[in-house]
Chain A
Amino acid sequence: MAHDSHAATHARTLPADLSAPAFVDTWKMRALMAGAAFTVLAALLAVLDHSIDHVLRAYILGLTLTWGFAVGGLALLMVQYCSGGKWGLLLRRPLEAMSRTLPLIFVYWLATIFFIKRLYLWAQFTTESSTAEGLRAGLLTELQAHCLDFKRPMLNPVAYVWVCGLCFAIWGFYAWRLNSLALQRDADSPENTPRWIKKFENISGPGIVIYAVTITAASIYWVMSMDPTWFSSVYGLLYLVEQGFQVLAFAIIVTIALSKAEPVHSIYRQTEQHDLGKFTFAFVMLNIYLNFGQFLIIWSGNQPGEINWYLDRIRGGWGVIITLDFIFHWLVPFTMLLSRDLKRNKKRLTRVCQFMIFAVVVNQFWLIEPSFKDAARNLHFSWGILEYAAVPAAMMAFWVAFFCTRLKTRALVQTNDPHLAEILEPEHATA
């Protein structure tokens, strides 16, 4: 069989040095500079606005955005350990680096404890007598007072600290466990790889379920409870899909950028890029499916207690934002990613992914800002509203800088993986 050797002779070889290329440091420097610039801008805007209310609201947007990357990255890491697939080998180290940014998210969250009173009604009215007083003074509507009393077992400052703290402990545990085991796996001999694969599967499977529960809790505390009258059992799933959406977009951007140099260059193939494009497309669809499903149910029910949440976000100019959100978050990525050529083109796929992350910010803006009395059914310009660009940009920039340091700490290719030999082969050999 003289022909069998062909595939082997055409296979690429891994370079000796598997560490991250030097330009990751340049990214870090640029991110830090951008972070500083946006911090100054945010401060300037706060001075012009004579208030830090919008800084705090935008801070929650920055928190959910960066948290989406860190915890969503951890979740996608667990998913690919369970599903297998060569795309997983390509994304594994960037996803691990994203999960190791969790300490920064924890610090971001700790800061929120000091200003929950300015953001959440449940932190202002902590007892039944105080809600009754708020109702009498006209600070609360009857519906709000009722919901605050009904939801108090979960929505109170003590539970906030404990539940979020517990969530961070759980995410931290999984991030630590998967990251440290990955290094041990690489140091082990290749004969033990099947055992390692099983082990990662067994950790990740339950981990995904626990992830879904914990992010539901966190998204309820951070965003949903800004309007205590809002009930939606799909809320956690909306965040789950949003995280998949943004994490895939970010991971594709990072991997394409890293593929310009070794070691990612030698494991990077168009086939896997195409697969990732299709995967992202699935999340674009799933996102509109859940969002529209929630809307359709509330619209069909047409209950006075439920529709306010949507009316706050459609009337008074907000219809423009939700239309743009629909275009940015679904129509543009959907029509773009439909194209096979685009999914196989590095530059264009990167552009679409960058746009998708922008769309996530627009969507979060639409979720957060109308929750407050001054903005509900009343979209209006103030200097403060620009904080929604400045604060998340600063937090995201600092997060990217931290992500770059995490990326530098280990080899970018996992060597003890059966997919490695396959991914080094020419594309047609394993169709």
Chain B
Amino acid sequence: MPAREGTYGLLAEFDTPGDLIRAARQARQDGWRRLDCYTPYPVEEAAEAIGFHRNKVPLLTLIGAMIGGAAMFSLETWISVLAYPLNIGGRPTYSWPAFLVPAYEWTILWAGLSAAFGMLALNGLPALYHPLFNAPNFRNGATTDKFFLCLEALDPKFDLVETKSYLESFQPASVVEVEY
């Protein structure tokens, strides 16, 4: 992909999560679709405010869990029934109660790994570059105590002057333009 140039978007900084959510909700209501919220800790209402209700992490976790459980159970069954059918204490070779514990552990392991890596992949991580880090107040605030709303230039409603005054109507601490 060729390097993009020009304006990435306008970034408004807020002091409280409540202010951010009110602004984000209003912007979504006013028809904005290319917008994002940035907070130092998870604020679920911010995701809901910009219309981000669902993600695919639960589905990935479920698929991962089922694959893990089925894989281990099949492996144990194959080993004990087909590959090395040993008589252990007179029990049947297909002794499912004993198979359940490792199968369960693998279910958990695969569910956890799928959730963690699925989340990273769906977030577009690892990302080597993000234009927002060009804004000095974002660099310092987004991981400590500031709450950001970014209206992106890709949105058809975007206009440098009008959008700036629109964002200022929410009384943010500041509005800055962010370059690619």
The chain A residues found within 8 Å of chain B, CB to CB, are: 1-4, 6-7, 10, 292, 295-296, 299-300, 302, 340, 426-429, 431
Contacts and interface: CB of A to CB of B under 8 A. Distances in A.
Contacts of A1: 15
A7 B17 CA distance: 9
B126 interface: no
B80 to A, nearest CB: 15
A295 B97 contact: yes
Contacts of B89: 302
B53 to A, nearest CB: 10
A427 B101 CA distance: 39
B30 to A, nearest CB: 20
Contacts of A2: 171
B19 A6 contact: yes
A292 B100 contact: yes
B43 interface: yes
Tell me whether chain B's interface is mostly helix, strand or loop, or mixed.
helix
A47 B57 CA distance: 58
A6 B16 contact: yes
8 contacts: A3-B15, A6-B16, A6-B19, A7-B18, A300-B98, A426-B18, A431-B41, A431-B44
Given A300-B98, A431-B17, 17 more contacts: A2-B171, A6-B16, A6-B18, A6-B19, A6-B22, A7-B16, A10-B18, A296-B97, A296-B101, A302-B89, A302-B90, A302-B91, A340-B58, A427-B44, A428-B17, A431-B42, A431-B45
Nearest to B42: A431
A339 B46 CA distance: 21
Contacts of A10: 18
B21 interface: yes
Interface of B: 14-19, 21-22, 41-46, 58, 89-91, 97-98, 100-101, 171
Interface centre among A2, A4, A6, A428 (most CB of B within 10 A): A428
Contacts of A428: 17-18, 21, 43-46
A304 to B, nearest CB: 13
B16 A431 contact: no
Contacts of A299: 97
Given A2-B171, A302-B89, A429 B101 contact: no
A296 B45 contact: no
Nearest to B14: A3
Contacts of A292: 100
B98 A427 contact: no
Interface centre among B16, B46, B171 (most CB of A within 10 A): B16
A1 B171 CA distance: 11
Interface centre among A6, A296, A427 (most CB of B within 10 A): A6
Contacts of B22: 6
Given A3-B171, A292-B100, A429 B15 contact: no
A296 B97 CA distance: 7
Contacts of B91: 302
A208 B171 CA distance: 51
A427 B45 contact: yes
Contacts of A431: 17, 41-45
Contacts of B18: 3, 6-7, 10, 426, 428-429
A357 to B, nearest CB: 26
A250 B155 CA distance: 49
Nearest to A6: B18
Contacts of B100: 292, 296
Nearest to A426: B18
A194 B159 CA distance: 54
A426 B46 CA distance: 13
B15 A4 contact: yes
A299 B15 CA distance: 60
Contacts of A296: 97-98, 100-101
B77 to A, nearest CB: 17
Nearest to A427: B45
Contacts of B14: 3
A300 B15 CA distance: 61
A431 B39 CA distance: 11
B27 to A, nearest CB: 16
Contacts of A427: 44-45
A344 to B, nearest CB: 11
A3 B45 contact: no
Contacts of B45: 427-428, 431
B146 to A, nearest CB: 12
A302 B97 CA distance: 13
Nearest to A271: B44
Interface centre among B18, B45, B58 (most CB of A within 10 A): B18
Nearest to B88: A300
